[in-house]
């Protein structure tokens, strides 16, 4: 049977199919056109930027770090350009160790260089260029350049390096820079200034380099570079130049700094000298020192071990965080407190038999047999302990605390360095907050006695001691101590003072200040430092101090020659000069060096001789045009020292150990006696809370 096809029907089906196909094709083309319009019109700018970012690479241009100079323009920290051999680990296709071994045949690569490179790899991203050797010689650069084709991913870069041309001089003050570690990188990325630190590999780690990092760093620029699909640079499209960091002009006289550091020799200690009227720090000495250049590229293991394990603690910033009992340098302030609080008059005198009884405890004076009749002037000039035992008992610990606080004791000075230690100015509240056990929290009256002579719980930094004597010599006008005097713009060279005005004024009576100053002048004329300041062409005021570094057993006579050197007393001295209008005030401590007149005072004399007269050690002093204000009396009316008379026996023997007699007839005070300070060792270099030390042997001052 033959099937008859319906041609008309099939034709209609074909047309329908063709129409559907046409609609589908039209819709598809419509969608493509819409997508095209979306990409080219609506999202044009976004994708254009993406394309440009693939074509253009933005490379940070790190600014030149600012310079650090002293008050006379001597450069203390500068930059220099040198070549660096760098490896980009992501571009190394062979074994990295093999590549380094081959490089070592062309360039001197030491084991310490390999260790530093490995450490940098752990802290950095693999696509970053990392140095394997820095500061290449011209010969090394030429040798590598000839073999450059053999080492894809290895290149030579010209970079700026930080240098400290004076080496160990003033290292604790200047500090140093170093490579940014992982922790610092995370902190920078999360900060408000993260964009400005892109490409930065070095930041300040210690000292002024750290505290003024933002000023010294400058503003990062950038280069827009066209790159090929393979990532190779084709051409430089544009450049936004970086802005150099600001320069720092210090208040420090680096020549004065050198003289003082040389005077210390191999001894440990610190000295801070301040210009009272401005707060400018003229010298900031911490001994021993270290070479900050060792840290710039990462210190080697041997050098680090030597510095970190040395018993002399060369990395310890003593003026800032070293905490010491002030000894008898505390006495002028105790005397001033008694005048201001109405507890004593200059004429009021006591009889000193050589000891002070408090309860069943005998607190000894420094002089066997005592000083006899002692008024306030004599108590400072001859440094009579008994006078201040008695005075401390009358004042009470809280009155002492409240008076000393505005002078700067136990307070942060606000110096422009980080991690300043507060020290300890004891009070009843301080003890309650410091100790946990109730029996330890109670303040005993006997503890106040040793505080009166600068022992006990008293513990202050050399910076605080210098700040206090500066405030006293400046008649109670407090200027914040600072190392950076001015910040100089890296572009305009405009300068701005860092401390333009006073912080506050201590309400002290001028008559009382003048009396204390005259007594401190007496110390240098006929007192404990008369020998050190003999024939000085200027008039100065000062006070010696001898502070116990560790306690001795009761009934044991102190003999420096028979105990370990590191357990001997510290030598201290505070001073200001010229006496009428002080230009310099200082505090110096020589650790474990004995009596203040023997070690600390001579260093103070050298510092003042140079700063006031230009005299260097072993050179004749130049006369000072004016040394006394004629409107002021030469000596206080209550006690006039006769400078024409021979120096007193006490002063003449100030540099010699005085015999110290212990009382063997009295029973030993047992631990826990509420009237007796605890007997403990005092480690002045550790951040632990200071404890009171045995005040009973009364070291000469």
pLDDT at res. 543: 97
- Residues 6 or more apart whose CB falls under 8 angstroms from that of 77 comprise 67, 68, 162, 163, 164, 174, 209
Same topology for domains 58-250 and 254-652, yes or no? Answer: no
Mean pLDDT in residue range 560-579: 89
pLDDT at res. 128: 66
- Does pLDDT of 481 surpass 50? yes
CA dist 202 to 77, 109, 182, 508, 602, Å? 14, 22, 12, 48, 41
Rounded Cα distance, 323 and 388, in Å: 22
Question: Angle at CA 522, nearest 5°, toward 518 and 525?
Answer: 135
Rounded Cα distance, 589 and 572, in Å: 4
Question: Per residue in 32-66, pLDDT tens?
Answer: 888 888 777 777 776 666 565 556 666 778 899 99
pLDDT at res. 555: 53
Q: Report whether 315 contacts 168 (CB < 8 A).
A: no
pLDDT at res. 13: 80
Give me the chain's average pLDDT, please: 84
pLDDT at res. 684: 36
CA dist 7 to 2, 18, 52, Å? 15, 16, 61
All structural domains of the chain with their residue ranges = 58-250, 254-652
Q: Which residue has the higher pLDDT, 521 or 58?
A: 521
pLDDT band at 418 (very low <50, low <70, confident <90, very high): very high
pLDDT band at 211 (very low <50, low <70, confident <90, very high): very high
Rounded Cα distance, 143 and 86, in Å: 15
pLDDT at res. 148: 87
Rounded Cα distance, 302 and 7, in Å: 102
What is the percentage of the chain residues whose pLDDT exceeds 90? 54
Q: Which residue has the higher pLDDT, 576 or 94?
A: 576
CATH number assigned to the domain covering 58-250: 3.90.1310.10
- Does pLDDT of 174 surpass 90? yes
Q: Which residue has the higher pLDDT, 202 or 653?
A: 202
What is the percentage of the chain residues whose pLDDT exceeds 70? 81
Structure tokens at 290: 């270290």
- Does pLDDT of 527 surpass 50? yes
Mean pLDDT in residue range 272-298: 96
Active-site residue identified among 251, 328, 379, 529: 328
- Does pLDDT of 285 surpass 70? yes
pLDDT at res. 230: 54
Question: Per residue in 341-367, pLDDT tens?
Answer: 999 999 999 999 999 999 888 898 988
pLDDT at res. 284: 98
Among candidate residues 455, 445, 456, the one with its CA nearest the CA of residue 360: 445
* Cis peptide bond upstream of 625, omega within 30: no
CATH number assigned to the domain covering 254-652: 3.40.710.10
Q: Decide if 328 is catalytic.
A: yes
Structure tokens at 59: 């490379």
pLDDT band at 566 (very low <50, low <70, confident <90, very high): confident
pLDDT at res. 49: 64
């Amino acid at each position: 049977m033959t099937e008859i096809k319906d041609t008309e029907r099939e034709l209609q089906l074909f047309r329908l199919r063709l129409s559907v196909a046409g609609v589908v094709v039209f819709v598809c083309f419509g969608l493509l056109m819409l997508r095209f319009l979306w990409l080219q019109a609506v999202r044009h700018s976004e994708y254009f930027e993406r394309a440009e970012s693939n074509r253009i690479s933005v490379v940070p241009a790190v600014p030149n770090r600012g310079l650090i100079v002293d008050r006379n323009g001597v450069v203390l920290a500068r930059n220099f350009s040198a070549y660096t051999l760098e490896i980009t680990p992501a571009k190394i296709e062979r074994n990295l160790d093999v590549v380094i071994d081959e490089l070592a045949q062309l360039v001197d690569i030491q084991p310490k260089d390999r260790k530093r490179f490995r450490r940098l790899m752990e802290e950095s991203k693999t696509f970053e260029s990392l140095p394997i050797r820095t500061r290449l010689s011209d010969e090394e650069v030429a040798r590598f350049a000839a073999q450059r084709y053999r080492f894809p991913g290895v290149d030579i870069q010209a970079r700026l390096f930080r240098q400290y041309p004076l080496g160990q001089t003033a290292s604790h003050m200047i500090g140093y820079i170093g490579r940014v570690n992982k922790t610092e990188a995370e902190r920078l990325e999360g900060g408000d200034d993260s964009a400005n630190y892109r490409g930065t590999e070095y930041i300040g780690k210690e000292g002024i380099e750290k505290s003024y990092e933002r000023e010294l760093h400058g503003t990062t620029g950038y280069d827009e570079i066209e790159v090929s699909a393979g990532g190779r640079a084709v051409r430089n499209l544009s450049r936004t130049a970086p802005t150099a960091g600001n320069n720092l002009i210090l208040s420090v006289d680096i020549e004065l700094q050198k003289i003082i550091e040389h005077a210390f020799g191999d001894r440990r200690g610190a000295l801070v000298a301040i210009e009272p009227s401005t707060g400018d720090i003229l010298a900031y000495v911490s001994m021993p020192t270290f070479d900050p250049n060792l840290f710039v590229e990462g210190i080697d293991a041997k050098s680090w071990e030597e510095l970190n394990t040395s018993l002399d603690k060369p990395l310890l910033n003593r003026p800032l965080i070293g905490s010491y009992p002030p000894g008898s340098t505390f006495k002028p302030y105790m005397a001033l407190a008694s005048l201001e609080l109405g507890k004593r008059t200059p004429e009021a005198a006591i009889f000193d038999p050589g000891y002070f009884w408090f309860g069943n405890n005998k607190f000894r004076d420094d002089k066997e047999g005592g000083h006899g009749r002692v008024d306030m002037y004599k108590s400072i000039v001859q440094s009579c302990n008994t006078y201040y035992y008695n005075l401390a008992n009358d004042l009470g610990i809280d009155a002492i605390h409240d008076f000393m606080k505005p002078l700067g004791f136990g307070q942060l000075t606000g110096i422009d360095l980080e991690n300043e230690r507060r020290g300890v100015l004891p009070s009843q509240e301080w003890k309650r907050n410091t100790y946990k056990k109730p029996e330890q929290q109670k303040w005993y009256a006997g503890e106040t006695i040793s505080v009166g002579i600068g022992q006990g719980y008293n513990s202050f930094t050399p910076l605080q001691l210098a700040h206090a004597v500066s405030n006293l010599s400046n008649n109670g006008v407090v200027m914040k101590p600072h190392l950076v005097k001015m910040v100089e713009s890296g572009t305009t060279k405009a300068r701005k003072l860092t401390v333009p005005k006073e912080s506050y004024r201590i309400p002290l009576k001028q008559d009382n200040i003048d009396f204390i100053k005259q007594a401190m002048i007496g110390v240098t004329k006929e007192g404990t430092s008369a020998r050190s300041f003999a024939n000085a062409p200027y008039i100065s005021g000062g006070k010696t101090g001898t502070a116990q570094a560790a306690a001795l057993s009761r009934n044991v006579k102190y003999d420096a020659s028979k105990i370990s050197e590191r357990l001997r007393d510290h030598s201290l001295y505070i001073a200001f000069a010229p006496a009428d209008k002080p230009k310099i005030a200082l505090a110096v401590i020589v650790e474990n060096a004995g009596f203040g007149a023997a070690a600390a005072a001579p260093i103070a004399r050298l510092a003042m001789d140079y700063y006031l007269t230009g005299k260097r050690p072993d050179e004749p002093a130049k006369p000072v045009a004016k040394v006394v204000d004629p409107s002021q009396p030469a000596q206080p009316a209550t006690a006039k020292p006769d400078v024409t008379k021979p120096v007193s026996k006490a002063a003449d023997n100030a540099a010699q150990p005085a015999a110290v007699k212990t009382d063997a007839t009295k029973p030993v005070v047992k631990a826990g006696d509420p009237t007796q300070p605890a007997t403990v060792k005092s480690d002045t270099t550790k951040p632990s809370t200071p404890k009171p030390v045995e005040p009973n042997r009364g070291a000469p001052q």
